Amino acid sequence: MRYSLSLIAPALALTLILPTATSLGFGPYEQHPYEQQHWFETRQVKSQDPAPVKPASSLVIDTFRNPLHNDLGFWHGTGENLTLQHEPGSMRLFPTDPDQNFHTQFDVHDCFSLLPWKDQFLHVVFEGNEEFTVSLNEHNAQCNPAQSPFPGVPDSVQASRYIMRTRSWDPDHDDDDWDESLKHGKQKLPLKHRFRNDTRGGGRQRPARSKRSELFIPLSHFRLDHKRVVSVSFTGFYTREPITLYRVEIVPDVPSPAAWNGYFNIPEKLPTGQLILRCSRPNSFAFGIDDGQPQYAQEVMRILDEEDVRVTFFAVATGLRDRSTNFTRFYGEMLKKGHQVALHSNTHPKMEALPTLHEINDEIVQSIRTLEDELGVRCRVTILFLQGQTLTISSTARYFRPPFGTVGVRLRQQLAQYIDNPYIVNWSVDVEDWLWGDTNTPERQLDAFYRDVARGGNLAVMHYLNPITAGYLRHFIRHVKSLGLNIMRVDQCLEDPNSPPL
């Protein structure tokens, strides 16, 4: 059935911009950054019964007929201030930052399983900017959006590697028909069924009027637990060109390579390391302490000594090389005391925002070299063959914390080229020192810490950029101890066989 144009006309060009916390009348404290995100709330906007699950047939996730929910009846939208423009049949994204995300969700209040489709392909029809990351996000272990972390861990692929470039549209079908049917949400067979193979080569070659591109990504390229998947998301934008999404679905197969599709072949999965948000060891808790001010370093050391706990420091390489900071001696002493020192880039940029792979690589290589040269910390696993025996010298710096927590697939892939199976360490407890450190309510850092720990977070991020935050470290540690949790280095809390014994 077709909708009449006059009915949909008023809905055209409806622009959705996420209201900021302030415009909702909340102060910044009443709204935790995650709570500003629509998807933290109960965003299950069910308007219809979800399609019955028929394994091995396709699963239409989103055709963007509705501004607020997808074809499964669940929320789609952005948690960040990504500007969106919805028209029936499409969603246009105007990205400005690689941290922005557009999510189309499954059931966040349940463990939504994609196992019936695990051998199939994510198919995305879009237009515009190709420079982005496609992620499939795992839900947390409880499948509960109120638990930290939410969402859980993503695995990601680089959109541009999976694009099928079609030379023209099916000559028997009119482009307008295709456009209209998409706009009106009419169910369409996946594109492959609309093409006949090479017969078209001799037929009328019509230049594509539309610049639509298609992605086909094997679900197996997303290394995560397919039994609990929370969303498909589009993120990691490093150019500002808009992207228009038309269709997100899972299909059983991919068109075979032919002239009309540029002999499309699925690329191989590139390693992306492991993204870490939580400790895995039962009853463990870890502090990942990032950059700081040299003048508070000794205070941090004193607290850690007195509380007798070991942590992981993520050190910025330029700071280490700068003799005036005394960081080489400080981190050297921390290593001797049994703490872990790991990578946090060379100059602390949002790495996914860097325009070239060369710049991303340079950040990685300089930071690895600096840790090796200044502190003797090895970043690669070295395998030696001595008198017929294999000797593995473990690396302590397979651990990388992305500046600002900005993670996209280019960063993940490049890191995995230099470091064998890197751990990319985000967090599930945010002290929010970046938010409250320099305000007249610094104690909100304590509230933030207690809140995230209460939600089940066990891997913290903090800095020692101001004396109050540095002083709070003792409160954080005592709070964790009072809960009966054991504080240890990140590698130990991840049960890394190469980590030192507890």
Ligand X SMILES: *[C@@H]1O[C@H](CO)[C@@H](O)[C@H](O)[C@H]1NC(C)=O
Binding-site ranges for ligand X (CB under 6 A): 80-81, 96, 99, 154, 197-199, 256, 275, 277, 326, 329-330, 333, 405, 407, 426
Strand-pair category, 163-164 with 459-464: unpaired
Nearer to ligand X, 42 or 199 (CB): 199
Q: What is the Cα–Cα distance from 479 to 302, expressed in whole angstroms? A: 18
Which residues within the stretch 375-434 sit at the binding site for Zn ion (CB under 5 A)?
403
Nearer to Zn ion, 88 or 403 (CB): 403
Q: Around 230, how many Cα atoms within 13 Å sit in the side-chain half-sphere?
A: 23
Contact of residue 291 among ligand X, Zn ion, none (CB under 5-8 Å per partner type): Zn ion
Instruction: Please say whether the beta carbons of 79 and 104 come within 8 A.
Output: no
Nearer to Zn ion, 213 or 346 (CB): 346
Q: Is 356 helix (H, G, I), strand (E, B) or coil?
A: coil
Number of residues that bind Zn ion (CB under 5 A): 3
Contact of residue 182 among ligand X, Zn ion, none (CB under 5-8 Å per partner type): none
Ranges assigned E (strand) in 175-294 = 213-218, 229-235, 243-251, 274-276, 284-292
Contact of residue 333 among Zn ion, ligand X, none (CB under 5-8 Å per partner type): ligand X
DSSP 438: T
Structure-token match 């101890």, residue found = 481
Instruction: Please say whether the beta carbons of 86 and 14 come within 8 A.
Output: yes
Contact of residue 290 among Zn ion, ligand X, none (CB under 5-8 Å per partner type): Zn ion
Nearer to ligand X, 91 or 277 (CB): 277
Q: Nearest-CB residue to ligand X?
A: 405
Interface pick for Zn ion out of 290, 352, 374, 496 (rule CB under 5 A): 290
CB of 254 to ligand X, least distance (A): 12
CB of 290 to Zn ion, least distance (A): 4
Contact range with Zn ion by CB under 5 A, out of 65-73, 96-104, 288-296, 410-418: 288-296
Q: What is the dihedral of CA 382, 385, 386, 387, to 10 degrees?
A: 170
Contact of residue 210 among ligand X, Zn ion, none (CB under 5-8 Å per partner type): none
The first and second tokens of residue 47, run together, are 């308007």
Structure-token match 């507890």, residue found = 502
Nearer to ligand X, 73 or 294 (CB): 294
Nearer to Zn ion, 290 or 491 (CB): 290
Contact of residue 81 among ligand X, Zn ion, none (CB under 5-8 Å per partner type): ligand X
Instruction: Please say whether the beta carbons of 90 and 246 come within 8 A.
Output: yes
The first and second tokens of residue 83, run together, are 């500007």
**Which of these, 381, 388, 409, lies nearest to 497 by C-alpha position?**
381
CB of 369 to Zn ion, least distance (A): 19
CB of 33 to ligand X, least distance (A): 7
Nearer to ligand X, 200 or 247 (CB): 200
CB of 178 to ligand X, least distance (A): 21
Residue 365 one-letter amino acid: V
Q: What is the Cα–Cα distance from 46 to 41, expressed in whole angstroms? A: 14
Q: What is the Cα–Cα distance from 355 to 67, expressed in whole angstroms? A: 31
Q: What is the Cα–Cα distance from 199 to 431, expressed in whole angstroms? A: 62
Instruction: Please say whether the beta carbons of 456 and 148 come within 8 A.
Output: yes
Interface pick for Zn ion out of 170, 291, 430, 496 (rule CB under 5 A): 291
Q: Backbone phi, then psi, for 293, in 5-degree steps?
A: -95, 135
Nearer to ligand X, 70 or 135 (CB): 135
CB of 300 to Zn ion, least distance (A): 15
CB of 325 to ligand X, least distance (A): 9
CB of 200 to ligand X, least distance (A): 9
Nearer to Zn ion, 155 or 291 (CB): 291
Strand-pair category, 243-251 with 121-128: antiparallel
Residues lying near Zn ion in the complex (CB under 5 A): 290-291, 403
